[in-house]
Each structure stands twice: as C-alpha cells, then as structure tokens.
A and B are shown apart, each in its own frame.
Chain A
C-alpha cells in the first residue's frame, strides 16, 4: 500500500516495475493476474496493460495505469511518489 493505494510490483527479467494494483475497469487486483511478455492481463475480464508504460493494450480496458519510478538498492525496492 502506498498513500492508501495498493501497488503491484512486477519482476520482468532483471528489472522491477510498479503500477497501481486496482484495474480501472472492473475493480480487480492486477497482482492476481497473468504476465505475458511485458503485459499484465487482468484476472477479471482479461484486459491488458503494458507494465512499463501503463498503457491499455487490449479490451475492455481504455485508461492508463498509474506507473511508479522504481529504484532497487541492496535488495530493497523504492518507489518515487512525487517529483524530485
């Protein structure tokens, strides 16, 4: 949880990504979904998002996910919540 909003973390190869966890379409948790290449598929209605950019990539989703800038330092994951 971050600022009262659930966050979903993804490990793609060596890199870690973070987006909002709540699917904007059907109120489902993306962390229960499926990763295919660099896409996350929502478990409820199979909407697809690009994990890196948050862009919708397949229906029924039409709005962007909020993405967080990620830094991994010594095994700890940090997210940027506001500008520098």
Chain B
C-alpha cells in the first residue's frame, strides 16, 4: 500500500472525500501490519471521523425501548458529533444533530429525558421534536429596536434530521444521503445476527455501563475481533468454560467492509488436550454460584457471539446476557464504551435475573471486560511511545478467509484490508 489507492469498488461502503491530507506510508506488508501512528495521529483521527462516522456508514443510536413515549429522548454521539434520538408526535423515532442552529451549543445536555420541545439554554431558540425552529426570543427586537432581519425565515434554520432506520427495535442513522439502505449496508450475514437477537419482540431496557478507556477507538474494535487474546488473557473465561481456545467457533470478516461476525459455542468447564496450553486455566478455582456462568437454554441454543457493525457498534448474546456495545471516539487516544443491556418483554423473572447477573462479566468492573480495558491502556502507552513501529497480525495466516477455529486474527486483517483502502493509504 505504498502508493495511495483510489477506491474503485462499488461495494457497500464507498469512502467519502476528506480534506485531511496525511503524509504517512503504510508498511509494505499491508494488512498484516498495523503502524502505531494509526492510534496516535490527530490527522488520521480527523480523517476517520470524516470518512467513516460522517460518511456512508450507518451508526448505532440505541434501542426504541429507551424512548418509549412521545418527547422521550436519548443523547448519543456518532463519532465526535453529538446527536439526539427522540420519539416524535407520530410515534416514530427521529435522529437530530444535537447542535443549536444559532451558535452550535448542544440543545440537549442530558443523556435521557422527556420534553415537549427543545430549547437551547444559551439564547432560548426553540425547536419542535423534529428539529424545526419554532421561535426565538426578540425576533422583533425590544421596544421597537433591533430584532432579526425581516427576511429571516425560521424554516431555513432548523436542526438537521438524519436518515434513520428501526431494525427490530435497534435505531441506526447516517449523515449521508448516498449511503445504501441499512440492509444493504449490513449485508445478509450481519443482518442475520442482528435479527437473531432483535427478532422484533418488544424490548425491555435493563441498564447501562459506561466507561472511558484511555486508548484509540480502533483498539477496542480490534480487541473484539480478536478471539486469540480471549483464550489467553481472560482467566475467568478459560476457567469457567465460556470461551476457550478449543471451543467450536466461526470467524468471518465481511468482504469489502469493516463488519465481521464471530460465533462460539458454550461448552462448560472441561479438560482437553488443549487445556495445559492455557496457562491461566485455574483448576483450583471453583465457582460456588454457578449461575453466573451457566446459561439457561434459550433461542440461541448455546451459540454466542454476534456481529460487529462498522464503524462502532456490536450486537450479540453472551451466556443469557443480551447487549449492545457502542464505541464513542473522544480523541486519538481516548474512547468511551457503552454497554446497553436489554431483555424481551416475554422474559420471565428468572430470565431477567440471569440476563442481569451474567452481565457481571461485562462493563468497567466486569469479570472479563476489566482485563480488556486495562490491556488496551497498556497497548496505547506502547503505541504512543513508538508511533513509527508496527503491530504484527499474522496469527492464523496472512489472509482474510473465514475460519472455523478460534485462534486467529483474521478479523483484524479483514478490518485493516478495508481500512487501508477506505482511508487511501
């Protein structure tokens, strides 16, 4: 990738022009190497925001059960852009830029709430739930003096509404008029994963965990696309049998996109030929309350995992815990991670309790996830110190073909194969 490539594909994610010019050369070994400057360079970060988050992608906003009534809203971000999803008078969900048309202030400062309309606190410009500017103070001046020019037309100064879609209760939006439909964007494999855990049943919100991780946002994505580490780093997984190097699994990068699907099968605590290889397998540890690691049989038949929907969201099931993950890039060296836990309206009390209890594996203090955020912190420190060096992504080969085994970095290679072309490296 020494010569910049122009994107000739007509696939589901055509790159968008970005004014950011980057004087960087990708290593000659292509997508089996990740130069550490992709985790530190401010120009690279800005170009990612332009090309991906503000480009022809569909981005996760939330679940429709988070905004149950007219006027209920949830604040979120698409990349670094603040946005709002809100239930409007006709019962549909709209996605708006969270930015007053006047001076750019966020018109919505809270994560969730319920309003009749939005008023910017700065000069009290007032917008309806669809973002239309309804009125502004002193439009006609004060005591006959001042005011807005007579030709000022509020209709021309509303808040931009994004294209959005509701798929089985998940809400997605795009800034692009040229992005394909959400269904085309995802493709059949990813869509099947979304539909499996969002089959159209009414959803129940169970809760959130949020954390700030001092690493580049892509490191989190790569971590999710890396089952190799899961079998080594996470003592909890290995010992209690939820995710092991010898588990039956499938990894498939979706060609010509940043999406991927990763599936594994819960097999319980066991000792096989591969067990001695797992240094963190602890025969001396026994969990007295097995319910935390014992999924109850349900619709998925023990098949866990899910899909990464490029750029920044994942859907899936782990044990009985249903959740979405959303990555919000904050700066080249910082991202926010939000888990949203949910259930189905027809879950009984026992199932709801399990979905919540098994969520203890995830989030900032999760029995498993806490290893990841600590590890990514360490990776960022190394990358920041040595931006001219590069990571090696060769486990499982140098290709991007789908695998039926666990110990592979194929999904990271698939991601960078797409990334290099989309970013023009």
A contacts, CB < 8 Å to B: 26, 28, 34, 42-47, 59-60, 62
Contacts and interface: CB of A to CB of B under 8 A. Distances in A.
B112 interface: no
B140 A45 contact: no
A32 to B, nearest CB: 8
16 contacts: A26-B124, A43-B137, A43-B138, A44-B124, A44-B126, A44-B135, A45-B124, A45-B126, A45-B137, A46-B139, A59-B134, A60-B117, A60-B126, A60-B128, A60-B134, A60-B135
A45 B132 CA distance: 12
Given A45-B134, A59-B128, A60-B128, 19 more contacts: A26-B119, A26-B124, A28-B137, A34-B140, A43-B137, A43-B138, A43-B139, A43-B140, A44-B135, A44-B137, A45-B135, A45-B137, A46-B134, A46-B135, A46-B136, A47-B134, A47-B135, A60-B134, A60-B135
Contacts of A59: 128, 134-135
Contacts, number: 37
Contacts of A34: 140
Interface string B133-175: 0111111100000000000001000000000000000000000
The binding surface of chain B is classed by DSSP as: loop
A50 B137 CA distance: 20
A46 B154 CA distance: 11
Nearest to B141: A43
A56 B134 CA distance: 14
Central interface residue in A34, A60, A62, by most chain B CB within 10 Å: A60
Size bracket, chain B contacts: 10 to 19
B147 to A, nearest CB: 10
Nearest to A48: B135
Contacts of B140: 34, 43
A45 B135 CA distance: 4
A62 B134 CA distance: 12
Nearest to A45: B135
Interface string B1-31: 0000000000000000000000000000000
Contacts of B128: 59-60
A12 to B, nearest CB: 19
Nearest to A62: B116
B75 to A, nearest CB: 21
A62 B117 CA distance: 11
A59 B89 CA distance: 14
Contacts of B117: 60
B126 A26 contact: yes
Contacts of B134: 45-47, 59-60
A28 B137 CA distance: 10
A79 to B, nearest CB: 27
A59 B117 CA distance: 11
Contacts of A62: 116
